Chain A
Amino acid sequence: MTAQIEIAEVTKRYGALTVLDKLSLSIKANEFMVFLGPSGCGKSTLLRMIAGLESVDEGTIAINGQRIDTLPPGQRDLAMVFQSYALYPHMTVADNMAFGLKNIGVPPDVIATRLTEAARMLEIGHLMERKPGQLSGGQRQRVAIGRAIVKEPKAFLFDEPLSNLDAALRVRTRVELAQLRHRVKSTMIFVTHDQIEAMTLADRVVVMNNRRIEQIGTPMEIYTKPASRFVATFVGSPTMNFLPVTLENEGGFARVRLPDRSLLQTTVPMAGLTPGALDLGIRAEAVKPARPGETVITSGQVEVLERLGDRTLLYIRLEDGGMIVAEDIGLSRAVIGDRVPLVLDGARAHLFDGEGHAFHAVEAAHG
């Protein structure tokens, strides 16, 4: 059984403070949806409202057409994996996993079968008689997921479940989660502030900021066509470069003048753009040191080098004092202090107006 979740005009207030304001969202059956945003954006609150741990002040939440926001948490047929795992410390792993099933009167033989199956899937069979205090962080995480799986819920809710793990274990668990979602066919909602988790796990990402949804889309849509300057900034590492530019009309596509007076021809359609001051947004992979014969757009001095193995990031101080991050090959010969001529790919440029609205190059639109 899986769930299609409809969130309609949902509002949440704490006293005079509105933390979510008339938020609407539709989550498809079997979809892996990630709520992504900075701390305090309301993503966890939204998840907890779906779970029933927070009340809904206005609006409705429905699963498969049936309204659930008036039901107590235990009757919503959802399972949640908490950031702290929230395992019952005095119960064994097996008892932790069976607790919810016993509460809804599942027969003991069915409980045993489900526990065995989940233990096999998560490779925790040897831990079943241990207590949470005897487990490592990663093992606790598996048990928390196991506790959710055995309930065979309509939807899984994950509240930043990887944030308590160390970096290496987080990467491994992320991969395992990605594998798990193909084995457990169910709707999954995953809350995180980590864009890599969002990009690698999600079918679709809901980017939230300041109590509202900034953008909903596939990871690549979010990356290549950020709907706002906030999304462009929040998603992607290193963060997108922004340069103040002035718009100069050039046929159907925007041509912009950079602070050092150089010109960049983009493939951003002029439709909707008004002449004047804009911000050029361009990711590091679209800014490269110029090769012989290439047309140099601008240049600057290398201040910082980040050698990441497969590529090198160059933090370059431009003539006007601004900073831009460029990407070079892993074996880049650049050294700190070098003057580097740069090529900017206008086909991967974005323009943002004063209100943060985004205009994308047409190539970028194809992702």
Chain B
Amino acid sequence: MSSPAVSSGPASGAPSGMVGRSTGDRIILGLTIAAAIAMMAPLVWVVALSLKDNKELMVSMNAVFHAPYTLQNYLNILATSSVFRWILNSLIVAGGLTLGTLVLSSLAGYGFARLNFPFRNVLFVIVLMGLAVPEQAVLIARHQLFSWMKLHNTYPGLILPNLSAPFGVFLMTQYFRAIPKELDEAALLDNASRFKIFWKVLLPLTLPAQATLGIFTFLGAWNDYLWPLISGTKKEMYTLTVGIASTQTNFAQSEGLGFLMSQAVFAGAPILILYLFFQKYIVTAVSGAAVR
């Protein structure tokens, strides 16, 4: 007598793998795969081009589909004497800007969310209005100011302009506001000073928001091109984006396509590494789930 408990597969109608998946689900899955291919294809194309000899590509683009492949374009980048200096510059600028933005936005956010001071709401609106001012609108005035202050071709000159981060202040203010005030009150009764409440009680609770803000700030600073191009005019003060762009020849897109693509991959590699480390936070940040 066979046991009724023995079953060779999932029960009829039970959703398991593809079993039970509706037509709608299949369509959505197909569209998702198509979208993923559409997004990945240019990246794969760039990487493939970067591994080809420039002369081969000048003859025919079909060369990309067959051997030989080479790392010569990457070796040429590394042969550029300043490239590691540019990476260092980018790290200092993006890192410094990220750190500075986190410190200032957290303090300002705490102040706007928790402290009572005259003109608080007016000041907050003024900060938010900063979101509506495009960088290009203040570029010339800023250039002249920094020139007068002799800050061009310095790290402060590259970092300071973007330290005024209205979005960061807004994000942190909203995050601090969402933290129950009872925590401040409990800490007050625990004889904690105002700074201790900020540092020990509230700030640790804002880590998801700090991660979000930090990642976006770092990415923005790493990819920034316009201001570093204007402020860092000396070769040793180039950031990676400016430096790599400066190595391009006049006919880069025809004569040096492989080299051009290898530059793009090289510039993006640190960001890819950053993404691998902070993948979880970035996904959360993009989905907006970190902002409670």
Contact = CB atoms under 8 A, between A and B. Distances in A.
Contacts of A89: 205
Interface string B249-262: 00000000000000
Contact of A82 (B185, B192, B204): B185
A74 B190 contact: yes
A74 B191 contact: yes
B187 interface: yes
B204 to A, nearest CB: 4
Interface residues of A, number: 23
Interface residues of B, number: 16
Contacts of B196: 103
A53 B188 contact: yes
Contacts of B139: none
A196 B204 CA distance: 39
Contacts of B201: 88
A86 B192 contact: no
B205 A74 contact: no
Given A86-B180, A88-B201, A90-B205, A80 B186 contact: yes
B191 A100 contact: yes
B236 to A, nearest CB: 43
A74 B188 contact: yes
A99 B189 CA distance: 11
Given A82-B185, A86-B183, A99 B190 contact: yes
A267 to B, nearest CB: 49
Contacts of A103: 190-192, 196
Given A86-B182, A103-B196, A52 B188 contact: yes
A79, A100, A151 interface centre (most CB from chain B within 10 Å): A100
Contacts of B190: 74, 99-100, 103, 151
Contacts of B191: 74-75, 100, 103-104
A72 interface: yes
Contacts of A53: 185, 188-189
B183 A78 contact: no
A312 interface: no
Nearest to A53: B185
Interface string A83-94: 110111110000
A272 B95 CA distance: 82
A51 interface: yes
A154 to B, nearest CB: 12
B192 A99 contact: yes
B183 A88 contact: yes
A73 interface: yes
A90 B180 contact: no
A143 to B, nearest CB: 12
A144 to B, nearest CB: 9
Nearest to B183: A86
Contacts of A84: 180, 182
Given A84-B180, A86-B182, A88-B183, A79 B189 contact: yes
Interface string B105-122: 000000000000000000
B188 A90 contact: no
A90 B187 CA distance: 13
A258 to B, nearest CB: 51
Nearest to A76: B189
A89 B179 CA distance: 11
Interface string A244-288: 000000000000000000000000000000000000000000000
Interface string A150-161: 010000000000
Contacts of B183: 86, 88
Nearest to A85: B182
A320 B183 CA distance: 55
A90 B189 contact: no
A281 B245 CA distance: 91
Contacts of A88: 183, 186-187, 201
Contacts of A79: 189
A309 B188 CA distance: 48
A99 B196 CA distance: 11
A262 to B, nearest CB: 55
Interface string A33-74: 000000000000000000111000000000000000000111
Given A103-B191, A103-B192, A103-B196, A86 B205 contact: no
A52 B190 CA distance: 12
3 residue pairs, one from A and one from B, having the closest CB atoms: A74-B191, A100-B190, A86-B182
Given A51-B189, A53-B189, A74-B192, 9 more contacts: A72-B188, A73-B185, A80-B189, A82-B185, A84-B180, A86-B182, A88-B183, A90-B205, A100-B189
25 contacts: A51-B189, A52-B189, A73-B185, A73-B189, A74-B188, A74-B189, A74-B190, A74-B192, A80-B186, A80-B189, A82-B182, A82-B186, A84-B180, A84-B182, A86-B180, A86-B182, A86-B185, A86-B186, A88-B186, A90-B205, A99-B200, A100-B189, A103-B196, A104-B191, A151-B190
Interface of B: 180, 182-183, 185-192, 196, 200-201, 204-205
